[in-house]
Amino acid sequence: MKYLIVGLGNIGAEYQGTRHNIGFTILDALAEASNIVFSTGRYGAVAEMRLKNQQLVLLKPSTYMNLSGEAVRYWMIKEHIDLDHLLVIVDDIALPFGQIRIRPKGADGGHNGLKSINDMLQSQQWARLRFGIGNDFPPGAQVDYVLGYPTPEELAVLPERAKVAVDAIKAFCLSGVTFAMNNYNNK
């Protein structure tokens, strides 16, 4: 079986390591733990790995967040991947920093990357792993917060929380979305 695992973020040095790029950060942690490297592909950086009997295609779109759906649709078609084998890792201000929530489907919740994917796939029936980035910002400062960098306290726990997210991705691919939700939501 083949899975497409997408980490959302924005390309460019000015976005590297920001809260909004947590999807890239999680995929980098998975690639590092698996001793694989990304190469430049159409619409993004791509890496492939095997996980037991599953084949995983990892994608960090280069389309910028608002056009993530173009990259996702291209790679789903190219690799012949069904919607139920798609997992998107995304930042979420509604969750405390590092908290994970996996869902089998859903609306975009105001997230432009998810909106683009929903629009391009004409469906909300695909799994997402929401990684909390917190919401410690004053009214009107959401954009600066999301495009800002984690605090030293958040950075201190990020490697551990990224490892939990990586384990959740593996659980999704090996045992399905329900198992991953039951074992990793709010962990």
Residue 110 has pLDDT above 90, yes or no: no
What does pLDDT average to over the chain? 95
Please answer whether residues 106 and 128 qualify as being in contact, where contact means their C-beta atoms are separated by less than 8 angstroms: yes
Burial 85-122 (b: 16+ CB within 10 A, else e): bbbbbbbbbebebbbbbbebeeebeebbbbbbbbebbe
Q: Looking at residues 85-114, what average pLDDT do you find? A: 94
* pLDDT of 187 strictly over 90: no
Span 49-75, pLDDT tens digits: 999 999 999 999 999 899 999 999 999
Q: Write out the CATH class of domain 2-184.
A: alpha beta
Positions marked catalytic: 20
- Three-state DSSP class for 172? helix
- Per DSSP, helices labelled H in the chain are 22-33, 68-79, 112-121, 142-146, 152-175, 177-184
What residue spans of 80-151 are helical by DSSP H? 112-121, 142-146
Q: What pTM value is reported for the model?
A: 0.95
Q: How far apart are CA 174 and CA 90, in angstroms?
A: 20
185 has pLDDT over 90: yes
Beta bridge partners of 86: 4
How large is the average pLDDT for residues 129-144?
Answer: 92
Integer Cα distance of 109 and 155 in angstroms: 25
User: Does the CA dihedral 18-22-23-24 come out positive or negative?
Assistant: positive
**Interval 151-173: pLDDT, tens:** 999 999 999 999 999 999 999 99
